[in-house]
Chains A and B, each alone.
Chain A
Amino acid sequence: MSLGEELTGRTAADLAELVRAGDVSAVSPSVAGGLVGRTAAELAGLVRAGDVSAREVTDAHLERTLALDGEVRSFLCVAPEVAWAAAAEIDAARARGDVLGPLAGVPVAVKDMFCTRDLPTTCGSRILEGWRPPYDATAVARLRAAGAVVIGKTNLDEFAMGSSTENSGFFTTANPWDTTRVPGGSSGGSAAAVAARFAPLALGTDTGGSIRQPAALCGVVGLRPTYGRVSRYGIVAYASSLDQAGPFATTVADTALLLEAMWGHDPCDSTSIPSEPEPVLARLEEGVAGLRVGVVEELTDVEGIQPAVRAAVDSARNLFEKAGAEVDTVSVPSVEYGLSAYYIIAPAEASSNLARYDGVRYGLRAPAPEVAAMNALTREAGFGAEVKRRIMLGTYALSAGYYDAYYGQAQRVRTLIIRDFARAYERFDVLLAPTSPTTAFELGAKTSDPLAMYLSDVCTIPTNLTGACAISVPAGLDAAGLPIGVQVLAPALGEAVLLRAARSLEAGFAFTARPTLGEAA
């Protein structure tokens, strides 16, 4: 265990370098093959049955991560000792004959927005570099209690502000399908890690689409649950009325498995929904016969939509019809204003939440003779451009004379959008839309034009404003071989019907392609 200080907290590329140099033997090389690329459900089954140990599963995934993450850069830090300690506990519990949890021995990658007591938590920001939280986020604690093995913390746009992971204060992450392109964001590291099969499961947060958009761009499943279903305790706050944590996986069933392991009421989060959630995994295969599906016109014909993405929505529509659903189009006119409302509300809340980074209690402190200058210099040195931009925008929108014209008006528009969706759900059980108007764009393509970057969230933002749930499911590849995602939306607390519909689409699309990442195709 004394190795802990040496290995944990490094990137995969740094670790791989140490292994190559012979400085450490990071992972046992003689792992039984075939453990990577399996689902979480399969792996947990193998561990529970004693066919493989949690340590073997962990090592197989660490080995793959060390070998290939230098190309993807999905992890900010890889955590061998922390993972080995967790795996050893599972293996000891099994040896004692204890009942193992639903995620026994399953490697999980955690977005670096979640507090972890044994790993640094940076939020992708220099202002928090080296900070180690004194506690675990509730979601992380619950996953660990379910037997999951945290193998590292993944890269993100700084404080989850961005749609490409290029706003990380440390480095950019590449899309495993084409390493010249972005993985999406802000949870780009988590989406890329699952797509690259470094871990079968990952945690993300979704404030404006930060789980669903990278899931679509990386060809994996990503779910944003109903606001308040997963505790926000220990998740660093960005925009508190929009933030929600959720799962990434390669299958809808694994998505449900991860969701069930972490959701439900938490007394530490006063916005946590008190009612017990209905089980979703057990009802996944019930099909969509008779289900009413509405195709959202305004999002499907959104400006700038790539024809292949539009065609994927049509395919999804056909698959639903073939499976017995009743499909029609629906108009939700106010979604047109969603983006504008979001880019007032989210920065306003962020400007307030990020006031806490003042150089006093944690993180960076710039030297200055008195405290006001220390605050301002610390924030100037520690925050990146996008974070400053949103703090400025939010501060302006909340300042005297502008509050009602911007923030107040955005909150009223939020009500209009909630009403429009309520009307749509009188006629439909779930809605269908693209997840992102385009497939993965090239690194650097939108970094100089913030507004163009914001437009890639246009299809996901309405769910955050309404507090409802939605999921992105892989629907195929475009002509360039890049994954396309389609989105299913359901009303608040509608996870059971949402996941059932997503499972039906998954079976219909039968998406089995994987990125190759330097291996033989």
Chain B
Amino acid sequence: MSNPLTRADVEHVARLARLALSEAEIEQFTVQLGAILEHAARVAALDTHDVPPTSHPIPLANVLRTDSPLPCLDRDVVLSMAPAAEDGRFRVPRILGEEA
């Protein structure tokens, strides 16, 4: 069978997934993901037009709790684990600008 995936597909999906894949990884994934998708395509052949999808094995609806305030995580403790923090907030590099 022919590979259902092209190199361009893999590059597109990597952009969606925010993964800066290397050249070698793009080539490897094109082959490996193609083989896995071929195996997965076995399910595509089944007739399921009258079968509802299952998103959750044990359905629970409207899980509610009382709206009472509880202490939340300590801000300083949380920020101490961040790669960069400033003035009680997470610090990140420039957000606006041209796409890399």
* 9-residue interface stretch from A69-77, A165-173, A193-201, A392-400: A392-400
Q: Which residues of A contact B32 (CB under 8 A)?
A: 389, 450
* B8 located at the interface, meaning its Cβ lies under 8 Å from any Cβ of chain A in the complex: no
When the two chains form their complex, are residues B95 and A370 in contact, meaning their CB atoms are under 8 A apart?
yes
When the two chains form their complex, are residues A467 and B21 in contact, meaning their CB atoms are under 8 A apart?
no
* B17 located at the interface, meaning its Cβ lies under 8 Å from any Cβ of chain A in the complex: yes
Interface of B: prevailing SS: loop
Question: Would A270 and B60 be within 8 Å (CB), given that A365-B84, A380-B19, A412-B52 are in contact?
Answer: yes
Distance from B1 Cβ to chain A, minimum over Cβ atoms (Å): 14
> How far, in angstroms, from A270 to B13 measured CA to CA in the complex?
31
> How far, in angstroms, from A397 to B33 measured CA to CA in the complex?
11
Scan residues 29-83 of chain B and give those whose CB is less than 8 A from a CB of chain A. 29, 32-33, 35-37, 39-44, 46, 48, 51-58, 60, 63, 65, 73-74, 77-78, 81-83
> How far, in angstroms, from A365 to B35 measured CA to CA in the complex?
32
Distance from B27 Cβ to chain A, minimum over Cβ atoms (Å): 13
When the two chains form their complex, are residues B46 and A416 in contact, meaning their CB atoms are under 8 A apart?
yes
Distance from A294 Cβ to chain B, minimum over Cβ atoms (Å): 20
* Beta-carbon nearest neighbor of A406 in chain B: B40
Interface size on A, residues (CB 8 A): 73
Question: Would A371 and B48 be within 8 Å (CB), given that A135-B73, A392-B10, A492-B58 are in contact?
Answer: no
When the two chains form their complex, are residues A371 and B94 in contact, meaning their CB atoms are under 8 A apart?
yes
CB pairs A–B below 8 angstroms (22 shown)? A134-B77, A227-B58, A270-B63, A271-B58, A340-B42, A343-B40, A359-B83, A361-B82, A372-B18, A374-B92, A374-B93, A380-B22, A385-B25, A388-B25, A389-B29, A396-B37, A397-B40, A408-B53, A412-B51, A412-B52, A414-B54, A418-B54
Q: Which residues of B contact A397 (CB under 8 A)?
A: 40
Q: Which residues of B contact A467 (CB under 8 A)?
A: 56-58
Scan residues 224-242 of chain A and give those whose CB is less than 8 A from a CB of chain B. 226-228, 241-242
Give A residues with C-beta under 8 Å from B. 131-132, 134-135, 226-228, 241-242, 267, 270-271, 273-274, 337, 339-341, 343-344, 351, 355, 358-365, 368-377, 379-380, 383, 385, 388-389, 391-393, 395-397, 399, 405-406, 408-416, 418, 450-451, 454, 465-468, 492
Chain B interface extent, by class: 35 or more
Question: Would A360 and B92 be within 8 Å (CB), given that A388-B21, A391-B17, A395-B13 are in contact?
Answer: yes
